[in-house]
Amino acid sequence: EAGVAQSPRYKIIEKRQSVAFWCNPISGHATLYWYQQILGQGPKLLIQFQNNGVVDDSQLPKDRFSAERLKGVDSTLKIQPAKLEDSAVYLCASSLMVGSGWGALGEQYFGPGTRLTVT
Amino acid sequence: DAKTTQPTSMDCAEGRAANLPCNHSTISGNEYVYWYRQIHSQGPQYIIHGLKNNETNEMASLIITEDRKSSTLILPHATLRDTAVYYCIVRVAGSSNTGKLIFGQGTTLQVKP
């Protein structure tokens, strides 16, 4: 089974420039997550999609970050304009299901991430 | 979601059992304990989860205390490839939950030859 694919793996941009990241989840996974991981910290959820609808974007800095999942499959995360503090690894994850009654939630499968450096 | 407390770092000799503790004293009755790990330059990887019974799979065992306020992840025979950051996460299960994982700082486990 193919895992979660992300591209590019590395990106270096100057502040105020724009950047976009792409994620292709595991086939059949309805739920897709974008996390931001700053060096030395655990990942932090930015946005969660269920199919092509947004479930949670409470931690997404909406003045500069945007994300879409138009056909309910792959997704893009964009930053415009980038700031120095956006330097981080951006992780995409997917899972089969979310919130099915009182049962355990589906485990999340993570991609390798995109390392962004803003200079 | 309840907060967890883990030691910042631990060492373990190769071939020995690695026991990683986690405190979650404010855990609620409908919260599961999940463990993920993150090997350097990779995305986090699911290990195991449990509610109140002990659990075992091919990767590890999870021991949850009777009062559910703490748990221990056990890697029975640690190898150098188990060197990673291990995250203990408590997570609500239910139709109203979004399923998001709230990661703390985790425990950096260094397995030494």
- pLDDT at residue B69 is higher than 60: yes
A2: left (phi over 0), alpha (psi -120 to 50) or beta: beta
Instruction: With a cut of 70, say whether residue B6 has pLDDT above it.
Output: yes
pLDDT for residue B29: 86
Confidence of residue A104 (pLDDT cuts 50, 70, 90): very low
Test mutation, A21, A105, A114, chain B, max B CBs within 10 A? A105
- Residue of A45, A91, A106 with shortest CB distance to B43: A91
Which has the higher per-residue pLDDT, A103 or A94? A94
- Looking at chain B, the whole-number percentage of residues with pLDDT higher than 90 is 77
In this predicted model, what pLDDT tens digit does every residue of A1-51 receive, in sequence order?
A: 689 999 999 999 999 999 999 999 999 888 899 999 999 999 999 999 988
Residue A69 binned pLDDT confidence (cut-offs 50, 70, 90): very high
Nearest to B43 among A100, A105, A110 (CB): A110
Beta bridge partners of B45: B37
Token pair 């409908």: residue: B30
Indicate the range of A11-25, B4-18, B88-102 predicted with least confidence.
B88-102
By DSSP bridging, strand A109-110 and strand B61-64 are: unpaired
Rounded to whole angstroms, the Cα distance separating A95 from A65 reads 23
The mean predicted confidence, pLDDT, of chain A is 90
**Is residue A62's pLDDT more than 80?**
yes
Give Cβ neighbours of residue B67 (< 8 Å, ≥ 6 apart): none
pLDDT of residue B56: 96
Amino acid symbol at B20: L
**Range in A14-28, A90-104, B71-85, B86-100 the model is least confident about:** A90-104
Q: According to the model, what pLDDT value does residue A77 have? A: 98
Q: Does B95 touch chain A (CB under 8 A)?
A: yes
CB B12 within 8 A of CB B109: yes
What is the per-residue pLDDT across B22-37, written as a single tens digit (0 to 9) for each? 999 999 888 889 999 9
Residue A102, pLDDT score: 35
Q: Which secondary structure element, helix H or strand E, spans residue A79, and what is its range? A: strand A75-79
Cα–Cα distances in Å, from B35 out to A96, B56, B65, B73? 18, 12, 15, 8
Chain B residue with CA closest to A115: the answer is: B41
| Contact residues on chain B for A42, CB-CB shorter than 8 A | 85, 87, 103-106
Q: What pLDDT is recorded for position A107?
A: 82
CA distance A51 to A71: 8
From the number of C-beta atoms within 10 Å of its C-beta (0-12, 13-18, 19+), residue B37 rates as buried
Q: Please compute the mean of the pLDDT values over residues A71-94 and round it to a whole number.
A: 96
Selected residues 13-72 of chain B with any CB under 8 Å from a CB in chain A: 30, 32, 41-46, 49, 51
CB contact under 8 A, A104 and B101: no
Nearest CB to B99 within list A91, A98, A102: A98
**Res. A98 pLDDT band, cuts 50 70 90:** low
DSSP string, B3-67: --B--SEEEEETTS-EEEEEE-TT--TTEEEEEEEE-TTS--EEEEEESSS-EE-SS-EEEE-TT
Instruction: Decide if B49 contacts B62 (C-beta within 8 A).
Output: yes
